[in-house]
Amino acid sequence: MDQFPLTRLAPGTTARIAGIRSTNGTLINKLAALGVLPGLPLTLIQTYPAYLVQIGQTELALDRETARCIEVII
Amino acid sequence: MKNRILILGNPNVGKSILFNRLTGLYATVSNYPGTTVEIAAGQARLPCGLVEVVDTPGLYSLHAITEEERVARRYLMTAPDGVILQVADARNLSRMLPLTLQLLQARFRVVLAVNMLDEAAREGLSLNLDVLSHRLGIPVVGTIATRGEGLDRLKEILFQVLLGQISYQKTYELRFSPEVQADLSAIATNLKAVYPLPPDCLSTLVLAGDEEILELVRQQESILRWRKIKAVITAANARYPCGVGYQLAIEVHAQAEQILKGICLRLASRTRHWQNRLSRFTTNPLTGLPILLAVLYFGLYRFVGRFGAGVLVDQLDILFKNILIPAGANLVATIIPSPLWQSLFVGEYGIISLGVRYAVAIILPIVGCFSFFFSLLEDSGYLPRLAMLTDRLCKSLGLNGRAIIPLTLGLGCDTMATLTTRILETRRERFIATFLLALAVPCSAQLGVILSLLSPYPGAVLLWGSVVLLVLLLAGHLLDRLLPGSPPLFFLEIPPLRLPRLSNILVKTFSRMQWYFLEVLPIFIGVSVFIWAGRFFGLFQALLRLLEPAVKALGLPPEAAVVFLFGFFRRDYGAAGLYDLAASGALSVRNLVTAATTLTLFLPCIAQFAVMWKERGPVASLLIAGIIILTAWAIGFAVNILLSLAGL
């Protein structure tokens, strides 16, 4: 299976985090600190007005630009 | 400092509540990442006597990215002998443990408090903390800070660690993959200076690309060594698609998972507790937006606006006008014979009758109510949800969701809101938010007066509201286009909804009022002195003559100039002046809408300008003030022309 951006996931589905696609080092490190790490299951809860994802027991709100950087795999 | 306990940990894990439990003293706690850059210190009573305890801002990892994280780490680096009390969220140990492992790598004496065991139990989680303690080689204590559970045992353990009765000889050591390990060794051999952190910990931060640490190393090492270090980092970054910093995070996290194996047991499937259900309602746009509007309406408009800025201010103002100021006048008259100097204290614009009265009777009750409401939002965990729901709107103004805090705060008091722009991350955002607050966010004092003046004419209210909103959106959009850079990305942890504790809210409200009062009182006193001197030297009369043509061009009677000038110094004066003018029949509906619109857009008050000066510096403040005066006048001019063309 190929990996694709989180924004193409349907709300309510769970996928595994594949990685972060970004050249913004600070963003990558911050997301890593929030628990966006490869292999972890991620559930997309909603997409509007912001993306809301759950990773483990953590819920994260992301704007579209940030959500697009997170790649997942089903 | 050997006898010091440093409280450390991720945001939203209950650090500050634990701090209060240990010290009985209060620090500003918050759910909203970014509002506590100040550090709180207090003393804990342990069996060995009083020990200093310091509460630090949220820290996700030793690799510090935000300003708060750097502040927390600076504290850590200056206290190598102290005891580190790491507070962790029991539900989220795999995300908390990497920080523990980093702290152990840096050879700190760490005590781990696994907090919120009640929330973990509710989720059906069972934790074997004894095994965790054994694997990490450090004391681990389970706590429920909100109820004070586990506190006695925690104090006992902190006491033993301080006395050196607990050994830290065999703690867990971080291990990395061979490639990363090679990079770390290569960096370590080039670190020759003396640093506040051990070499292996330092090399990890250097390899991860921590900006502050890199700068430190660049200053300390020779150019040759610095180049070698840079070469190692560049090569390592090229090896991993997301950079070596991400790789390090992955490897540390994997070790944390390894340690936690068999420790966290999920006994039952997650029960749908009311908190989870309510949480969905607050984030789902269909239910979340009405909830948001209700929260803002009842919290801001009814409680802060009507109750605080209305009822409380009126009562306190009566107290001042009828009792305190006459009493002050008598007292001053007996001490100072000269009427001129008397007027400095109790004249119309005196230090007591304007400065102190303003700070105590008008601003303090509003700030008090607002702080109460705001603390409730913070402690309940609603604030990040508010930011999430409004992120899109804020983006169109060149800001992101976090900016909703100062913007809504502005509807209470623009002065306080301008101070709160500190929570925004970039200078660009802080500038935009300050500008919009000064231009198009009317404070509760302005709102009250304008709404009561215009309310007989619903069309006028609608027109005034639309023009101000349009200016807000347009100004935000223009600033976003004109200023270099782009709105910052938005991502925020959404903590669970929690039932706030009243005692916590009250102490927090009080400490905020105290802080605000100390910050604002000198400004108000300075303003009184300035006005007093200005009147003495005839400055105002000259300014009025300058203003009159501008006011006439808006189609307003020349007396309106007084309203604008003194409205800047005293909002109630400006309001009262407008009332008087309207009552005397000098103003038509067209005049009222023009005056209300111009006054709203005009610089709100001198206190806000003073805070703006302090926060943004003279250049930015004068620039903002200049643009705002011109914009306010131009919009007022246009409104007047359009209305007269419409035959009003």
Backbone angles phi, psi at A22, to 5 degrees: -165, 155
Mean pLDDT of B335-340: 85
User: Residue B468 domain-assigned?
Assistant: no
Q: What is the DSSP letter of B499?
A: P
On chain A, the residues whose CB falls within 8 A of the CB of B94 are: 35, 56
Mark yes or no for CB contact B60/A34 under 8 Å.
Answer: yes
Structural domain tally of chain B? 3
Which is nearest to B382 in space by CA: B499, B274, B511? B499
Minimum distance, in Å, between the CA of residue A14 and any CA atom of chain B = 17
Domain-embedded: residue B200:
yes
Hey, are the CB atoms on B492 and A35 less than 8 Å from each other? no
Residue B207: per-residue pLDDT? 96
Residues of B in Cβ contact (< 8 Å) with A27:
489
Q: Residue B492: phi, psi to the nearest 5?
A: -150, 140
User: Please, are residues B184 and B207 in contact by the beta-carbon 8 Å criterion?
Assistant: yes
Domain span holding position B423: 288-443+494-522
Task: Confirm whether B370 is domain-assigned.
Answer: yes
Record: contact A61-B492, CB cut-off 8 A: yes
Interface contact A26, partner B, CB < 8 A? yes
pLDDT recorded at residue B195: 92
Q: Which of B216-225, B234-243, B542-551 is predicted with the least confidence, judged by mean pLDDT?
A: B542-551
Shared domain for B392 and B319, answered yes or no, is yes
Nearest CA in chain B to A39: B250
Alpha helices in B322-457 (DSSP H): 325-335, 339-346, 357, 364-380, 383-395, 404-412, 414-420, 427-440, 444-454
In this complex, the residue of A49, A57, A60 whose CB is nearest that of residue B285 is A49
Q: Which residues of A touch B275 (CB under 8 A)?
A: none
Residue B358 CA to residue B403 CA, distance in Å, equals: 27
Asked if residue B111 and residue B36 are part of one domain, the reply reads: yes
Same domain, B261 and B301: no
Q: Are B527 and B517 in contact (CB under 8 A)?
A: no
CB pairs under 8 A between A and B: 113
Please give the share of chain B, as a percent, with pLDDT higher than 70: 95
A63 interfacial to chain B (CB closer than 8 Å) = yes
Verify whether the Cβ–Cβ distance B250 to A27 is below 8 Å. Answer: no
Task: Verify whether the Cβ–Cβ distance A60 to B491 is below 8 Å.
Answer: yes
A73 touches B: beta carbon within 8 Å: no
Q: What is the mean pLDDT of residues B628-643?
A: 94
Q: B244 and B104, same structural domain?
A: no
B569 part of a folded domain: no
Same domain (yes/no): B311, B413: yes
Q: Specify the length of chain A in residues.
A: 74
Taking CB atoms and an 8 Å limit, are B392 and A49 in contact across chains?
A: yes
Domains and CATH numbers, chain A: 4-73 (2.30.30.90)
Report CB contact under 8 Å: A25, B209. yes
- By CA distance, what is B497's nearest residue in A? A59
Structural domain includes residue B233:
yes
Q: Quick: pLDDT tens for B441-468.
A: 988 777 777 777 888 888 898 999 999 9
Residue B611, C-beta contacts closer than 8 angstroms, at least 6 positions apart: B415, B418, B419, B523
Instruction: Tell me if B403 is assigned to some domain.
Output: yes
The tens digit of pLDDT for each residue in B406-440 reads: 888 787 778 878 877 877 878 899 999 999 999 99
B374 part of a folded domain: yes
The model's pLDDT over B13-37, given as tens digits with 9 standing for 90+, comes to 988 889 888 887 555 443 333 333 5
Residues of B in contact with A66 (CB under 8 A): 489-491
| Pairwise CA distance, residues B461 & B454, whole Å | 6
Any CB–CB contact under 8 A between A7 and chain B? Answer: no
pLDDT at B469 over 90: yes
Q: Are residues B70 and B123 in the same domain?
A: yes
Closest Cβ–Cβ partner in A48, A50, A59 for B490: A50
In the structure, what pLDDT confidence band is assigned to residue B560 with cuts at 50, 70 and 90? Answer: confident
Does residue B27 lie in a domain region?
yes
Core vs surface per residue B331-342: b (16+ CB within 10 A) or e: ebeeeeeeeeeb
CATH number of the domain residue B19 falls in: 3.40.50.300
Same domain, B252 and B324: no
Is the minimum CB–CB distance between A53 and chain B shorter than 8 Å? Answer: no
Q: Are residues B118 and B200 in the same domain?
A: no
Nearest to A28 among B92, B123, B246 (CB): B246
Count CB atoms within 10 A of the CB of residue B645.
8
Tell me the CATH number at B258: 1.10.287.1770
Ramachandran area for residue B7 (φ above 0: left; ψ -120 to 50: alpha; else beta): beta
On whether the CB atoms of residues A36 and A30 are closer than 8 A, the answer is no
Q: Which of A6, A23, A37, A54 is most worth mutating to test chain B (most B CB atoms within 10 A of its CB)?
A: A37
Residue of B nearest to A19 (CA): B242
Mean pLDDT along residues B271-275: 68
Which residue, B429, B426, B420, is CA-closest to B397? B429
Strands B49-55 and B4-8: parallel
Pure H helices in B221-300: 223-239, 244-260, 274-283, 285-295
A37: closest chain B residue by CA: B250
Nearest CA in chain A to B489: A66
Site from A27, A40, A58 to mutate, B interface, most B CB atoms within 10 angstroms: A58
B65 shares its domain with B134: yes
Regarding whether B504 and B376 lie in a shared domain, the answer is yes
| Residue among A16, A59, A64 with most chain B CBs within 10 A, to mutate | A59
Taking contacts as CB-CB distances below 8 angstroms, the residues of chain A near B208 are: 29
CA B97 – CA B579 distance, rounded (Å): 63
Residues B497 and B380: beta-carbon distance below 8 Å: yes
Binned at pLDDT 50, 70 and 90, residue B98 comes out as very high
CA closest to B89 among chain A residues: A57
Give the CB-side neighbour count of residue B434, counting CA atoms within 13 A. Answer: 29
Of B89, B123, B384, which has the smallest distance from its Cβ to A61's Cβ? B384
Average pLDDT, chain B: 86
Q: Looking at CA atoms only, how far is residue B373 from chain A in angstroms?
A: 23
B294/B425 same-domain check: yes
Residue of B nearest to A18 (CA): B242
Please name the residue of chain B whose CA is at the shortest distance from the CA of residue A11.
Answer: B284
Decide if pLDDT at A44 tops 50: yes
Cα separation, B476 vs B429, in Å, equals 10
pLDDT at B521 over 90: no
Q: For B136-145, what is the mean pLDDT? A: 96
Q: Does A45 touch chain B (CB under 8 A)?
A: yes
Contacts A24 to B, Cβ<8 Å: 489
- Same-domain status, B187 and B105: no
Angle at B238 between CA B236 and CA B244, to 5 degrees: 45
Q: Note whether ipTM > 0.90 here.
A: yes
